[in-house]
Structure 1
Amino acid sequence: MDMISISVRIHHSFKRFLPQGLTDHPFEISLKSGTTLGQMLKDEIKFPVDVPKVILINGLHAQEGQQLEDGDRVSLFAPIAGGQFY
Structure 2
Amino acid sequence: MIIEVRLFGHLRRYLPKEKGNGTLKLEIETPAQVADVLEKLNVTLEEPMLILVNGVHATLEKELSPGDVVSVFPPLGGG
Query: What is aligned with 2:53?
Result: 57
The alignment's C-alpha RMSD in Å is: 1.8
- List runs of 5+ in structure 2 lacking aligned partners: none
The ranges of structure 1 where at least 4 consecutive aligned residues each deviate by more than 4 angstroms after the TM superposition are none
Q: What is the total number of aligned residue pairs between the two structures?
A: 79
Residue 27 of structure 1, aligned match among 24, 34, 40: 24
Is the strand fraction higher in 1 or 2?
Answer: 1
Spell out, residue by residue over 1:28-56, the C-alpha distance to the aligned partner (whole angstroms, 9 max, x if none): 001111111111111x1110122100000
Question: In the alignment, does 2:66 pair up with 1:70?
Answer: yes
- List runs of 5+ in structure 1 lacking aligned partners: none
- Tell me the TM-score normalized by structure 2: 0.85
Partner secondary structure for residue 38 of structure 1: helix
- Tell me the TM-score normalized by structure 1: 0.79
Contact 1:36 1:64 in 2 (8 A): yes
Bigger Rg over Cα? 1
